[in-house]
Structure 1
Amino acid sequence: MAPASPFAKDEKVLCFHGDLLYEAKILDTKPIDPNDKRSPHHYLVHYKGWKNTWDDWVPQDRLRKFTDENQALARTLISEMRAMHRARYYASKSSKKGKHDGSTRASEERHSSVAASGQMRGYKRNIAQMELEDDQVAPIPMADQLKSILVDDWENITKYLQVISLPVKVNVRTVMDQYLQAERQNRTEGSAEADILEEVVHGVITYFDKCLSRMLLYKFEREQFRDIHKQINDPVGDLAGKQPSDLYGAEHLLRSFTTLPELIAHTALDEQGVARLREELTRITQWLGRPDVADKVFVNEYENVSSEYENNAKK
């Protein structure tokens, strides 16, 4: 007797296509080998919003139930691929600039390593979609130094398989408090400008705390986050009651500024409100990009992981 199928015809599911999960519908299901009573099933799926020519028979291991948890995983995978794409883009821009300046060696090595590590293996369609979306949502301006930090951060984690040691020396809450103190000098006390500053700083920290696990981590960092999350929820542990902004630092904060534009685009703010919010966020990245600031806040150390961690992270 054939094993029962965990998925049914007409069921809404998430289906892997390449490295990403897409919403899909099961059109049909049948055993792979009808002559084998123990044969597993495979499934004809239609990807939501795709042409019928993309309909495909897929094995069970490419399907996931349409749950909140798996939808969060789908969003995370998209964020990771976009981060990888941005890192490759910044590395390419850095390489071209290096050639123009005459100092090509370091930038060419970086460009080569990023290109080799970040091959998409046939996902041109996905990348084209991301490029279109990125064009529609203007990024928050960043100094070249910050773009370089993003690239180095990506390489350290995805290429060299390192993670930032937690808790960090200078956490997100401290960084944003330092910005608040510095920027207050440019605002009149009690003014609307000062109130907006307070609200934006508070909003950035809140966004970071809520979105870190879903949007700001690379896959290789998730094992570390699971361990930290357990310690946070341990009522007698050293990290009891802490928030991500108390434990993570400027490197992860910087990643949030690459995802914020999309969030802003989907808010209920009017055009003037969006422009004002982008202006406030740009002031933060300008401050972070100042050499005297960057040298003090981007000081957190990357560390090698154990073989056990590496094996668990790759599952």
Structure 2
Amino acid sequence: MVSTRGHKYKFMDGEKVLCYEPDPNKARVLYDSKVLEVCEGKDKRGRLNGKIEYLIHFQGWNSSWDRKVGEDFILKDTEENRQLQKELAEKSKLHQGTYLYRKERKKQREKSLTARIESLTGHGALKGPSLSEEGSSCSNGFSRDESEFQVDGPAASIDVDTEYYSNSSSVESNHEEDKVYLQVGDKLKKFLEFDYRMISEGTLTEIPVKLPIVTILENFVRHYTIRQLFDLGQEQAKMRRRNSLFQKGDQKTKDYEAIRTNVELCKEVADGLRLYFDFTLKDYLLYPQERQQAELVLSDEYL
């Protein structure tokens, strides 16, 4: 039996650290993290085996993402390790082949995106809650009820695709590979227009939101799993009506294994989106006013 008495842990409960992504299939990056608990490993008989693990909470995500990792996954929160974190993040983003992370083009992209948004929302036809009429409900700049969302008038029928292609000629030819063509549905288009108008008037979303991104992703996986099982049940019921001997034994097992594989793939997609939001939210997915709010919420005192 290996004794851990008097053992000095490298990291302590409550310590703010940097932690590598624990999933070996994901990009090797460092997260802002916090040590929740020091855990001493035990063998099958319940005896201490000298193995030390740390329960880690990743900043900005709920407790369902907490993980136990070994010392080799954790680094002290130092300037040198912060620089390593930055380098790994940039390397990972470039490795993914997405133009969003090329620093030398950041300013031009932001300017182009801002111009396109303004061209779509500059018609003055959005009708949301007025700041002058609603009074103090928006005065602190941190409160907005999404249930008040309302869009009317010509702006509701603006064709984003048409505007995008009409402006695309202004982009220099050497940045041709930077273009990403997206089809935006009418409902999302209206909400983006409304959201831009509200933020430009100083009305930010109340933090924390009732339904964070990680919860949406978890609900997506849960819904997908339920839907897969439901569809299989429906199909089996139809086949049973045709043949009472249908799906006995190996075939049913194969069907459930196929569902298991699909659900695992769905979880991988959701986890990939989680990583995407984690690394692009503050730099690329928020307006300048929202970035200030995010920096406050994600500061050390809120960890």
TM range (shorter): 0.3 to 0.5
TM-score, scaled to structure 1? 0.37
Rg comparison, structure with higher value: 2
Q: Relative contact order, CA 8 A, sep 6+: which one is greater?
A: 1
